[in-house]
Amino acid sequence: MSLLDRRGDYSWPPTTLSDLNLILDKAVVAVGQDIGVTVGFRVMGGLRESFAPNVWTMAWEDNDKLVRLMMTTTVSSGRKLEDTGKEVRRARFYWSRDPDLPYRIWAAIVHEEGGAPIIPVSVEDAKSKFLDVTKRFEIPASSLGKGSHKLEAKVEVSWGRRTYIEKGKASARSKPVQVKVE
């Protein structure tokens, strides 16, 4: 069976980004301090639905054992203040001999920071570890200057063509958050 025929077997909804939040550590910061910012979001829709054991098994049988999620997160205040650059998070499908895992073909998650692969304990845990993202930034308050400023986050996510889903991308902006630099 050709790979094109496999993609035709599935009809996933569009992939979107949801729950995009920009959270400040403190709303008021001195000019000599750093502004602590946490950006979090979830990948929802087709990409999340396709990340399931029956699809992992089919992909593994077709020797399509790796899926990559490319991400860029930017924090701005009218101009770019900080960004992550291009980051890649990977999920690799493998034949598991672990009797505690519920399926033979399982996913190991490799985060963009590196380190050993993470073996999730359930399907929901695998989806969360692969498709839920939290980024931390420390922005010097002096780069903004004194006064009130609005910060917002922009996130862009893309993925490549697999045997079960076409390539695609999604992006979103957070609601502006007010920070005061004294």
pLDDT, tens only, 102-115: 899 999 999 988 88
Q: Residue 15: exposed, middle, or buried by beta-carbon count in 10 A (0-12, 13-18, 19+)?
A: buried
pLDDT, tens only, 29-88: 998 899 999 999 999 999 999 999 999 999 998 899 999 999 999 999 989 999 999 999
What integer pLDDT is reported at residue 1 of this predicted model? 43
Percent of the chain at pLDDT > 90 equals 77
What integer pLDDT is reported at residue 4 of this predicted model? 45
Q: What is the average pLDDT score of the chain?
A: 91
Nearest to 173, CA basis, from 8, 16, 7, 47: 16
Weakest-pLDDT range from 2-11, 34-43, 82-91, 95-104: 2-11
Q: What residue type is assigned to position 97 of the chain?
A: R
Residue 48 has phi, psi (to 5 degrees) of -70, -40
CA–CA gap between residue 41 and residue 64 (Å, rounded): 27
pLDDT(161) > 60: yes
Bridge partners (DSSP) of residue 170 are 157
pLDDT band at 7, cuts 50/70/90? low
Domains and CATH numbers, the chain: 3-176 (2.60.40.10)
